[in-house]
Structure 1
Amino acid sequence: MRFFPLIMTGMLLTGTVLSTPIAAEGHSKPSKITRRAPMNQVLKRNDVPVEHSWKLEDLFADQKAWDKEYQEVKEALQKVAAFQGKLHNPTAIKQCFELEDSISLHMERLYVYANMKHHEDTAEPTYQALSDKAKKLSVESGEALSFISPEILSLSDDELTKLLNHPELQFYKRTLEEMIREKQHILSKAEEALLAQVGNLSQAPSTIFSMLNNADLKFPKVKNEKGEEVELTQGRYIQFLESRNREVRKEAFQAMYATYGKNKNTIGATLAANITKNIFYAKVRKYPSALEMSLYGDNIKKEVYTNLIDTIHESLPLMHRYMELRKKLLKVDELHMYDLFAPLVDEYKMDITYEQAKETVKESLKPLGQDYLNILQEGFNNRWIDVYENEGKRNGAYSWGAYGTHPYVLLNHKDNLNSMFTLTHEMGHAIHSYLSDETQAYRFAQYTIFLAEVASTLNEALLMDYMLKKSTDPKEKMYLLTYYMDQFRTTVFRQTMFAEFEKITHERAEQGDSLTPQELSKIYYDLNLQYYGKDMVVDKDIEMEWARIPHFYNSFYVYKYATGFSAATSFSKQILEEGQPAVDRYLGFLKSGGSDYSINILKRAGVDMSSPEPIKQAMDVFKDLLEQMEKLAK
């Protein structure tokens, strides 16, 4: 069954993504005068102007149409059992795969629609219920189809080779090749059944951490810029660190990590248990290490991971120079960890309406050619986007959709620079999905998470290049440069540091070392010393930051942010320097979906992530931005 991920965005201070999807019918253009809620008022969902809402009728005309398709999937699931015991016959395998694709496609449509209706107003009980109904059917579908791979893989190697070369199964050759590649790590039927039964137990470390982190941890009150006592929360923490008042930043920083410090034994045990779980599965499934197990699904070699770390190590002098410049611009005797998000430009604000954001995004994406711009405009005109916040609406931003219908984008747009970058980011995801779905058959259209952030970040890179070239105000230019430099810092350097922390901790555990909270803190503190350099006072408090990173429970995942950002930066450099040949390669990448391994798709498009070169190209861009900032700072 195809996985239909929610492609999300919004980088938090922790480095997590709030972020995890084809032509529209009709051409309803936004009116020039639109009604919006006053700044201090949030509209109810029923009051949202139609031109600011997405057109979910393109997925299902109404609830009756959804109910009809739901029933059709339920009926189709009754037909699946007839194939059990018959998946040695090419004709039966072909028919089974066809039924699997049909169920999966319709399940995807039901699931996506139900959840997007729920996200419009999460308090609305009708769509809470519809979302739950879709989730239950998704589980039921997964269970019904789960026998397919194990049954085919129970065949001998000779029988599998014959299936690979059978004329009836040529369309499914890649599917069968993937199954065979995975075969060496598939256990006996009894062992697989046992592992399936302990699946819920394996989620315990993540579940416990989530409950502790999101529900049970209570943070003290701290003073805001007005001197008022305000309760510190995860959501408010970033706002405090962006304060112009240094005492506000310092107090929030110390209060945050003191709270985690008081719970270090519990959280340390939880993280150590998660690492132990990973090592258990790696050993049972006969992988050389937990890291290699995590990379195997995307067919990524270990060298891709280690190349990233090694190349960033070589580039750390650039990061240290940026810290030196931050210290100079902030005019402080010592640069502390709580100064990393402090604004570097005095009282500079960019007010950008949604209409202005759309026009600027369009102008910035002209290097990608008219065909790309036509799809972008189609999305703007035909209500792919749900624009503004309303009561009960899901927060953050994402791109999502179902095969056969155009993608959708959820925003909570504010009239600022960050929201404009979010718009181009999400439309990058959306157009990637549009072109993949338009070009590829359903089974091969979904791109991997390894590729997901490339298209979105490429759009951001072109927008930043456009704005920097257009800017004549030194303050604006410094504001933009700071914004982009911090994207590099948080998405490339910081995520690589996280990736290195995961690598070190798993290797220590695999060698039999005990991962006490003190040991975890020492590893993390030493990495901060290495990454930030001599111009940064690495405050002792930061040693507890490992305790608040949720992605450490989705192990060896964060490196994909750094590789995706590097690949996108390499693409943008090629497009701006080479023009049409690079654009053609890039559009070929967008159309490839999941038709080949991620590394091969990127390589054909001109970015070889098996080498350090794309990361070095990204570091060249970082160096150029740094030099521009240094000139402005003189």
Structure 2
Amino acid sequence: MEEQTRWNLRKMYPTDALWYEDLKETEHLCGELAARKGHCAENAQALLKTAQQYFGLDQKLYHLVVFANSNFDQNMADSEAKKLYETAQNTATAIGEKLSFLAPELMQYTPEDFKEYCGECPELACYASFAEDFFAKKKHILSDVMEQMMVRMNDMGASFSKIFEDLVINDLAFPKITAPDGREFAASEANYHTALMSYDRSFREAYFKALLGTYGNYRNTITSIYYGSVKDDCFTAKNRRYPSARAMKLFHNHIPEEVYDNLIETVGQNVAPMHEYVEYRRGKMGLDALHFYDLFVPLVSEGDRKYTYEEAQQLVLEATAVLGSDYTALVRRAFAERWIDVYPRDNKRTGAYSTGSYTSYPYVLLNFTGTLDDVFTLAHELGHSMHTYFSCRNQPYVYSGYSIFCAEVASTLNEQLLSDYLFRHASSKEEQCLLLDKKLNDLRSTFYRQTMFAAFEQQTHQWVEEGKPLLPEELSRLHGELNRQYYGERFAVDPELCNEWERIPHFYTAFYVYQYATGIAAATAIADRIFTLGEPAVRDYRKFLCGGSSLHPIEMLKVAGVDMASPQPVLATAQVFRDTLAQLKALQAE
């Protein structure tokens, strides 16, 4: 039974020896492509060969990296797994360096040259969209020598995230506090949700202050790490001739900067429902003031309710049945064919994610303990995996991946389908209230909170681009001010909360977090279409799932019936929060 609940990564590589053989083959392919320097597009057939070699190499390398990363995450104490992981990272960097000549060489040609080549060699036509995007980057591609340098610099820039992870996971000594049952309890990241959902307020407060107090003790070190990461973003953007780091990051995903501005502005103008929620929660909990550590505890007790993994599987199947029998058949395969590593264990990575290569299963890592949140996490990660599966099976490799901007849509939609299903099948008013409370908290943490983080990132990068240093006092002041803006004047902003920016790992992948907020806004709009239109909306959504990157993200979401270039989906999500709060108030008043 234990084997059945652990993912079968060995379907990718039955032995490490086979992985190393593939690694050697990948290095050989890289050498063959590098040897063609100066002749990569001298005629149509040469360009076709370059494209086939490059994407064949990229597919094989990504397969290697997925296995190495996932294999390490299932047992981070395994020295051989760590060796594979580090080897994969080093090889990817080395290949990037060896092929850094490729973009500058191809940029010597024009879209007109490519069109002419397509007339001579029709097989090139499948790369037309890729070529259009490639030539759009022309002014941001540097010389051969500079591109090689940028590969090395970006590899060093990625170290800031690794330094942060090493500090938090391996070096920070989180203090022990006493749990309500008398046990010693580590005030660490691993116990974050368990502690903050406790009904014992003094315990929540002690945990919160111990956790963030630990980060606060290293505020100068963490500020330096983050400052280095932001400077690296700004350095790369400036050298690649982008007006800002944000412009660079959004350009790569084909997202207009207006989308980012619209999100922050529209959410900022609609924080009143969040302020109302904070005040309602404060009143229901009977508190003089609401603190951050009071936001997670359910207003309606879940009691001792635990879900078995088998129950969670069935709930996800029933909730997603609206998406089609082939969709749920694929979910059943995920359960039966060991695509999922289910339970926590020593030395396994915490959290949850979905991963996979073009030819592998879309694997899922969980740390399932039987809570309602765990059931939603299963639905969420399977949303990612189904998106990956359908895109890979319906698109050629070159268009099989999907933008991060679209990535959180399928996962969040699954959560919304599950929430709706559970609410409609709830056996009591209390159970319905529990689900409404969870929905509000999810919207708070994903829609409002991630937008707040996006505003933080925007300001910190702007400071560095203006030549201003990042100082711990200024970063904490900014974070405190944003919390007051988003949660309201009646919300208590403790000194520890001002330091909370120090613990956010996503800040080391700049301008990423806003996509959680846009993702839930898009998913909310799609869910509304499915609930109101039925089958036509499902068909549109299924086209989106199969689309990969065959269209740019904004256009791909339009296929599913959502225009994220307009403020409407963001406004609608704020309205959903307002309506859900009104619904909870009405039920609890009965």
TM-score by length of 2: 0.92
Q: Tell me which of 392, 413, 423 is aligned to 1:468.
A: 423
**1:118, CA displacement in angstroms?**
4.0
**1:394, CA displacement in angstroms?**
3.6
Is 1:419 the equivalent of 2:374?
A: yes
Is this contact kept in 2: 1:164–1:176, CA < 8 A?
Answer: no
Q: Tell me which of 325, 349, 357 is aligned to 1:402.
A: 357
Counterparts of 2:23 and 2:220 in 1: how far apart (Å)? 47
Question: Which residue pairs with 2:100 in the alignment?
Answer: 146
Question: Which residue pairs with 1:571 in the alignment?
Answer: 526
Is this contact kept in 1: 2:541–2:559, CA < 8 A?
Answer: no
Is this contact kept in 2: 1:495–1:562, CA < 8 A?
Answer: yes
The number of residues matched between the two structures is: 587
Which structure 1 segments of 5+ residues have no match?
Answer: 1-34, 36-47
Compared CA separation, residues 425 and 189, structure 1 to 2 (3 A): same
Is 1:625 the equivalent of 2:564?
A: no
Counterparts of 1:132 and 1:525 in 2: how far apart (Å)? 38
Counterparts of 2:289 and 2:484 in 1: how far apart (Å)? 15
2:254 match: secondary structure:
coil
**1:452, CA displacement in angstroms?**
1.1
**1:527, CA displacement in angstroms?**
1.1
**1:227, CA displacement in angstroms?**
5.3
Counterparts of 1:452 and 1:564 in 2: how far apart (Å)? 7
**1:156, CA displacement in angstroms?**
5.9
Output the amino acid matched with 1:414.
T
2:354 match: secondary structure:
strand
2:177 match: secondary structure:
strand
Question: Which residue pairs with 1:540 in the alignment?
Answer: 495
Is 1:236 the equivalent of 2:191?
A: yes
Is 1:359 the equivalent of 2:318?
A: no
Counterparts of 2:217 and 2:283 in 1: how far apart (Å)? 35
Which structure 2 segments of 5+ residues have no match?
Answer: none
Question: Which residue pairs with 2:53 in the alignment?
Answer: 99
Counterparts of 1:67 and 1:262 in 2: how far apart (Å)? 43
**1:97, CA displacement in angstroms?**
1.1
Q: Tell me which of 449, 452, 476 is aligned to 2:407.
A: 452
Compared CA separation, residues 68 and 543, structure 1 to 2 (3 A): closer
Is 1:293 the equivalent of 2:255?
A: no
Compared CA separation, residues 104 and 346, structure 1 to 2 (3 A): closer
**1:69, CA displacement in angstroms?**
4.1
Compared CA separation, residues 137 and 327, structure 1 to 2 (3 A): same
Is this contact kept in 1: 2:9–2:67, CA < 8 A?
Answer: yes
What is the 5 A alignment of 1:80-479? 80-87=33-40, 88-155=42-109, 159=113, 162-163=116-117, 167-168=121-122, 169-203=124-158, 205-226=160-181, 230-346=185-301, 348-479=303-434
Is this contact kept in 2: 1:348–1:479, CA < 8 A?
Answer: no
Counterparts of 1:55 and 1:622 in 2: how far apart (Å)? 40
Is this contact kept in 2: 1:384–1:409, CA < 8 A?
Answer: yes
Counterparts of 1:166 and 1:600 in 2: how far apart (Å)? 30
Compared CA separation, residues 288 and 340, structure 1 to 2 (3 A): same
Is this contact kept in 1: 2:93–2:155, CA < 8 A?
Answer: no
Counterparts of 1:201 and 1:620 in 2: how far apart (Å)? 44
Counterparts of 1:126 and 1:526 in 2: how far apart (Å)? 46
Output the amino acid matched with 1:146.
S
Counterparts of 2:378 and 2:77 in 1: how far apart (Å)? 25
1:184 match: secondary structure:
helix
Counterparts of 1:469 and 1:597 in 2: how far apart (Å)? 36
1:380 match: secondary structure:
helix
Counterparts of 2:141 and 2:107 in 1: how far apart (Å)? 8
Is this contact kept in 1: 2:100–2:147, CA < 8 A?
Answer: no
Describe the superposition over 1:212-251 as per-residue Cα deviations: whole angstroms up to 9, x where unpaired. Answer: 4444444444333245665532323443322222222222
Describe the superposition over 1:251-309 as per-residue Cα deviations: whole angstroms up to 9, x where unpaired. Answer: 23233344444433343344334333333332222212221111110111111101111
Compared CA separation, residues 419 and 569, structure 1 to 2 (3 A): same
Counterparts of 1:405 and 1:108 in 2: how far apart (Å)? 11
1:222 match: secondary structure:
strand
Describe the superposition over 1:428-463 as per-residue Cα deviations: whole angstroms up to 9, x where unpaired. Answer: 111111111111011110112111111111111000
Describe the superposition over 1:337-374 as per-residue Cα deviations: whole angstroms up to 9, x where unpaired. Answer: 22112232246232211111111111111221222222
Output the amino acid matched with 1:529.
R
Indicate the larger mover: 150-159 or 245-254. Answer: 150-159
Is this contact kept in 1: 2:298–2:438, CA < 8 A?
Answer: no
Is 1:502 the equivalent of 2:474?
A: no
Counterparts of 1:71 and 1:175 in 2: how far apart (Å)? 28
Counterparts of 2:23 and 2:219 in 1: how far apart (Å)? 47
Compared CA separation, residues 113 and 537, structure 1 to 2 (3 A): closer
Output the amino acid matched with 2:256.
K
1:472 match: secondary structure:
coil
**1:482, CA displacement in angstroms?**
1.9
Q: Tell me which of 525, 542, 553 is aligned to 2:508.
A: 553
2:243 match: secondary structure:
coil
Is this contact kept in 2: 1:329–1:633, CA < 8 A?
Answer: no
Q: Larger relative CO (CA 8 A, sep 6+): 1 or 2?
A: 1
Is this contact kept in 2: 1:80–1:144, CA < 8 A?
Answer: no
Compared CA separation, residues 400 and 630, structure 1 to 2 (3 A): same
TM-score by length of 1: 0.86
**1:148, CA displacement in angstroms?**
2.1
2:358 match: secondary structure:
coil
Counterparts of 1:450 and 1:258 in 2: how far apart (Å)? 34
1:315 match: secondary structure:
coil
Compared CA separation, residues 590 and 275, structure 1 to 2 (3 A): same
Q: Tell me which of 561, 564, 577 is aligned to 1:609.
A: 564
Indicate the larger mover: 395-404 or 198-207. Answer: 198-207
Output the amino acid matched with 2:386.
I
Question: Which residue pairs with 1:59 in the alignment?
Answer: 12
Indicate the larger mover: 271-280 or 159-168. Answer: 159-168
Task: Please give the root-mean-square deviation of Cα atoms over the aligned residues, in Å.
Answer: 2.6
Describe the superposition over 1:149-182 as per-residue Cα deviations: whole angstroms up to 9, x where unpaired. Answer: 2210134676466457654421212222122111
Is this contact kept in 2: 1:348–1:476, CA < 8 A?
Answer: no
Question: Which residue pairs with 2:32 in the alignment?
Answer: 79
Compared CA separation, residues 508 and 573, structure 1 to 2 (3 A): same
**1:335, CA displacement in angstroms?**
1.4
Counterparts of 1:515 and 1:143 in 2: how far apart (Å)? 31
Compared CA separation, residues 143 and 205, structure 1 to 2 (3 A): closer
Is this contact kept in 1: 2:45–2:121, CA < 8 A?
Answer: no
Describe the superposition over 1:525-583 as per-residue Cα deviations: whole angstroms up to 9, x where unpaired. Answer: 11111111133222233222222222222221110111111111111111111001110
1:300 match: secondary structure:
coil
Counterparts of 1:573 and 1:439 in 2: how far apart (Å)? 26
